Chains A and B, each alone.
Chain A
């Protein structure tokens, strides 16, 4: 599904990723852990082609995305949902409109959008909040909206960059359970996090990054 082959990324003299070799199978739930500045976010941003690696190949399916031309990048991003720590919702749009945005980008018609957004908002249990604006939502509701927006287009891969970073433990668990459920549909999830408790409780594959290098990759790993 996803394969990194000798991927490095340099910012001037700083090595953000150092010879990363990694394979993630379809349907896996993978935690990427490490301290701030370890290279977790860079790894995710390489996958969305926000960043072009300095060396190496990044295979998504059978395609090396480092070879993508600029005009092909939107096609790649339509296959990948992204969730951020700060939600990145549009303040001037309602929950419904924020989620609908993904489908508008995909060129769906209004009828299809209405049906799919309703279905997704019910799945993430915020259908009753559909007419509220982001500022009227709690942190957990805002993150559920962001997750709904990321998955409404049925992407193959979901990248979550510290999705629980700004949430209290109880709300964070709600979000993790939701991601777990999305993973059970067959979506590959790659989640960057600091949260030891979540990683250790879920017992999924854990990749530890330190100074841009993978220092540990364990199947039912722990974050120590």
Chain B
């Protein structure tokens, strides 16, 4: 096997332009893959964040008793679609209001607890259940109104779906493309080395001795391309983190956990080894008749 690595190294060194072309194709493929993975993971985390927040707020009419609110809250807790409820009294609502308007004391002073309604924050397992719950709650006589900020979740769900579908299709296409490029380059090299292969066969080289360097070469192109793509994407992410953090505000996605990035590196290399190995193996099967 050691000899196979030596032969592969020599093959790569002696055709540097093909090696660069193969690595660049693999680099672009894996750059797209890693960006897609980061976007998918980011949008998923953002979605989880928004889903975990109170999605609907039930405002109660003036004069609603704690008993009435408790009855509704207990009924909601029995409801399997509801995952979270929290009662916000008038006083608690005032505190939240004041906290949010700290920078404008005049605004804070104008408001008292009596003008703020008591409310109940609720979350559902699935965002689509929210409007159903809202409609049910609106029918309660003590309920004044129900605020449903379902647009954010709906938009985010759509974005996540789009990222998954478009990203998945793009990466799938690029994987096939990268495999074909590896087949083409290794196939070309096999043709280029026809004489050498012929001589090796006459010297008694085993099929593995002849094939392995080509397979190692394909795997090498894949792995190097994936590593470069990871370095570039991590650098880009690191560079844009301050800007993105400000944009995302309270959604704490950044900085990205280094362990997550290491997982991405590991899976990219594994995938690259599969793509490179599969491509070169197919080329060897197709073009190398031993």
Contacts and interface: CB of A to CB of B under 8 A. Distances in A.
A76 B206 CA distance: 11
Contact of A105 (B14, B198, B209): B209
Q: Main secondary structure on chain B at its contact with chain A?
A: helix
Contact of A77 (B3, B202, B207): B202
B259 interface: no
A174 to B, nearest CB: 23
A104 interface: yes
A56 to B, nearest CB: 22
B204 A76 contact: yes
Nearest to B7: A104
A106 B200 CA distance: 11
Interface in A23-80: 48, 50, 71, 74-79
Given A104-B3, A105-B209, A78 B199 contact: no
Contacts, number: 41
Contacts of B199: 88, 90, 101
A82 B201 CA distance: 11
Contact of A102 (B3, B201, B203): B203
Given A92-B14, A105-B209, A77 B204 contact: yes
Interface in B180-218: 195-196, 198-207, 209
B13 to A, nearest CB: 10
Contacts of A102: 203
Contact of B203 (A50, A71, A105): A105
Give the contact-size bracket for chain A. Answer: 20 to 34
Which of A74, A102, A106 has the most B CB atoms < 10 Å from its CB?
A74
A74 B196 contact: no
Contacts of A149: 203
Nearest to A97: B10
Which of B196, B199, B209 has the most A CB atoms < 10 Å from its CB?
B199
Interface string A78-103: 11001000001010100000000110
Contacts of B196: 90
A48 B202 contact: yes
Contacts of B198: 88
Contacts of B205: 74, 105
A107 B209 CA distance: 10
Contacts of B202: 48, 50, 77, 82, 88
A76 B201 CA distance: 11
Interface string A121-165: 000000000000000000000000000010001000000000000
14 contacts: A74-B201, A74-B204, A74-B205, A74-B207, A77-B201, A82-B202, A88-B199, A88-B202, A90-B196, A101-B203, A102-B203, A104-B3, A105-B203, A107-B3
